[in-house]
Amino acid sequence: MYKCIRCARPLEKSFGTAEIECECGSRVFIKERQNIEKTIIAR
Ligand SMILES: [Zn+2]
């Protein structure tokens, strides 16, 4: 699942890594996973 880094709008489309663009015009997205909290806490 991808999340827009600008407007934080989740993208639930199943696209490739090429040519993805949010409605706000941003092309930068964060790859979000279910256990993302574990990933952040990991040290
Ligand atoms: Zn956006």
Helix (H, G, I), strand (E, B) or coil at 16: coil
Beta bridge partners of 11: 2
**pLDDT at site 7:** 92
Q: Does 7 carry a binding-site annotation?
A: yes
CA-closest candidate to residue 29, choices 10, 7, 2, 1 = 2
pLDDT score for 24: 92
Determine whether the annotation assigns residue 4 to a binding site.
Answer: no
Q: What is the pLDDT of residues 24-37, one digit of tens each?
A: 998 888 887 766 55
Q: Enter the tokens of residue 14.
A: 């199943």
Q: How many helices (H) and strands (E) does the chain have?
A: 1, 3
Which of 33 and 4 is assigned the larger pLDDT?
Answer: 4
- The domain locations on the chain are 1-34
Segments in the chain forming alpha helices (H): 36-41
Rounded distance from Cα 37 to ligand 1 centre (Å): 22
Residue 4 CB neighbours (<10 A):
20
Cα(43) to ligand 1 centroid in Å equals 30
